[in-house]
Structure 1
Amino acid sequence: MSWYVVDAVDRAFERTKKCLIEPFDFWKWMKLTIIVLLVGGGMNFNTGGGNYSFDETDMPVSQDFPTGAENVFENIYDTVSMNALAYMVGAILLIILLALIFAYISSVMEFVLVESLVSNDVRFWEYSRSFLGKGFGLFLFRLLLGILYLLIIAIVALPFIYYLTGQTDASLESSMLANIVYLIFLLIFIFFVLGVIGGIIGSFVNLAIPVSLYAGSGIFGAFSMVVKKFRQDWKQIIIYWIGRIVLNIAVAIVVGIAVLIMSAIALLLFLVFDGAVYFVLSALTASDTLVWIILAPVVFIQLIIFVLAIAFVSMPARVFVKYHMLTFLQMWYPEIEVPIFDRYKGSPMEDTATSL
């Protein structure tokens, strides 16, 4: 018996090579890199602050300085303190809103990536506009799954919380260590089970995305079709999950080595450049504040370049893994005709492929 997850490796490698190297197109690589970045999720925005103290002796008041202006920061601090709860709630709502926006963009980009690889023609804006509806369906599906996961965690954890709240102070203190150990193992068990379930469902969702595209159905209908096909041919999927774990580990090792080498070279170049700029600016001005005001945007731009470079180096691996999934889908679900660019239908009976 032939296992499709193994048979798909060579074909996926050939398709990756044809897509990325034959011929090499830098801008095609960049567009795929951006798409892969957006598929991978959003960004983390870390904001920092400092503690500033002002003393009237540190700020001499002159005729040109308005009376009472030296207390402006104290007034701002008082205002923020009085409305701290409102600002906190607003910040949390903003973070949730940004997370939802990036999750929706990620869902749209899932369809953009599949269509780009299937057609071997990357059209970022055109495909994005075309898949806004399907992306919203995928976003809604994943959102419902996320809510379901949270409900499961809450339901499992509720008995433990109820038990703790029902204890007296003396009994709670005496059994605190046992409760903590129990809670840790409970959380580990919950996240392990949810991780396994989430991985299985995520695998079905990834297969359902191209099915939704080329069967003309929504993501909910496509997911149902994949589950139905699983019931008919579950052995191939079981081996597919095992094979994908092995494949992802191998790909991660290769990508990790490439990223480490690239990161070492990039960080060394950035360090030499920033050091030279710092010493030049320090020689031109005695103000450290001015030096860092000029140097900070440079470091920020370098950070963006560094992230893009890592994504650029990692992108071929993501493309290969996606082509492997598409090739497996062609073999496992031949009823869904995926119009891959090399016209290979992927039937188990076919041993040859039509070349370009």
Structure 2
Amino acid sequence: MSWYVIDAVDSAFERTKKCLLEPFDFWKWVKLTIIVLLIGGGASFNTGGGNYSFDESDASTFEDITAGSGDIFQGIFENIASNIVAYIIGIILLLIILALVFSYISSVMEFVLVKSLVSNDVRFWEYSRSFLGKGFGLFIFRLLIAIIFLIIVGIMSLPLFYFLISQGDADFGSTFAAGIIYFMLFLFIIIVIGIIGGIIGSFVNLSIPVSLYTGSSIFKAFSMVLKKFRQDWQQIVIYWLGRIVLIIAVGIVVGIVTLIVAAIALILLLIIDGALYLVLSALLPGSDMVVWIILAPVILIQIILLVLIIAFVGMPATLFLKYHMLTFLQMWCPDLEIPMFDRQEEYTMEDTAASS
């Protein structure tokens, strides 16, 4: 019995090579990198906090500053302090809205990437406008799945929270032992839910090209993938195992290359920053604050540039894995007509040979 997850590797590699290198097109790489970034960047926010402690010396310093700066700054500070809860709620709501917006953009870009790879023709704006509706359907579908998983995790967490609240005056030893048991059980449940989420995510990813090339909604495409899974589940199980190995192998290679490129780029950027600092310090002696005000936007641009460089280097790996998924889907669902660009080239060559 042939395992499609293995058979798809060679074709995926050849298709990736043809897409990116035959011929090499820098702007095509840039557009694909942006698409991959928008897919990977959907609904991902990292916030950090400091470990700053406010003691009496800080308070006196603050009073000196506010006294010297005028009553207006003190009024602003008091206004923020009195409405801190409202500001926190506003920030949380803003982050949620941004997360939803970027999640929708990510869903649209999923279809844009599949269409670009299948046709080997990247048309960012044209495809984006074409898939606004399908992207919204995928966004709603993923949102419903996320809500269901949050509800499940919340229900599973209730016994642990109830235990923590009810054991306030209990013996420490028995409480600690029972708490460890509850926590391990909760962790096990979370791991199981995570595995189930990964399986569902795999079905969703397979449903995207099915939805695109059957003209059906993502909900209908998902049901079609599930139906095919019931008919031929062995290939999918081996596909999951093979993908884990493939992702680890590709991740190691890309990680090594990315570290090398990022280190070189970082060294060059640090040299540039050092040279700019020396030049500005010489031109503006005794004005370190002005120097750093000038350098700040330069450093911000360099950080964005460094992120783009890293994404540029890692983009081929994402394309390879996506081509691997599409090739597997072609083998697993032979009735699904995915008009791959290399198949079209083969048909053209066959027609030319037959006519001659």
How does the TM-score come out when normalised to structure 1? Answer: 0.90
The yes-or-no answer on 1:222 pairing with 2:235 is no
The aligned length equals: 339
Distance 1:278 1:176 in 2: 58
1:272-287 aligned within 5 A: 272-285=271-284, 286-287=286-287
Structure 1 residues 1-356: aligned runs within 5 Å:
1-42=1-42, 44=45, 53-55=62-64, 59=68, 70-167=70-167, 169-171=168-170, 173=172, 175-285=174-284, 286-343=286-343
Deviations 1:284-312 (A, max 9, x none): 22111101001111110000100000000
1:187 positional shift: 3.6
Distance in 2, Cα, partners of 1:176 & 1:269: 56
User: In structure 1, what is the Cα distance between the partners aligned to 2:277 and 2:178?
Assistant: 54
Please list the CA deviations of residues 22-66 of structure 1 after superposition, one character each: whole Å capped at 9, or x if unmatched: 00000000000000000102464758899882427973xxxxxxx
What TM-score does the superposition give when structure 2 sets the normalisation length? 0.90
Task: Give the residue type in structure 1 aligned to 2:248.
Answer: I
Percent of residue pairs identical? 64
What is the distance in 1 between the residues matched to 2:38 and 2:278?
Answer: 38
SS at match of 2:342: coil
Contact 1:342 1:355 (C-alpha < 8 Å) held by counterparts? no
Question: Counterparts of 1:80 and 1:175 in 2: how far apart (Å)?
Answer: 45
The alpha-carbon deviation at position 335 of structure 1 amounts to 1.1
Amino acid of the structure 2 residue aligned with 1:209: I
**Structure 2: how far apart are the matches of 1:148 and 1:35?**
28
Distance 1:172 1:28, change over 3 A: farther
The runs of 5 or more residues in structure 2 that have no matched partner are: 53-57, 350-356
Change (3 A) 1:266 1:183: farther
Q: CA deviation at 1:118?
A: 0.4
Q: Which amino acid aligns with 1:83?
A: N
- Answer whether contact 1:164 1:172 (CA < 8 A) is retained: no
- Counterparts of 2:243 and 2:229, CA distance in 1: 16
- What does the per-residue CA deviation read over 1:301-348, in whole Å, with 9 as the maximum and x for residues that have no partner? 000100000000000110011000000000100111001111279xxx
- Determine the structure 2 residue equivalent to 1:62: none
Change (3 A) 1:172 1:339: farther
Letter in 2 for 1:110: E
The letter for the 2-side match of 1:40 is G
What is the Cα deviation at residue 71 of structure 1? Answer: 1.5
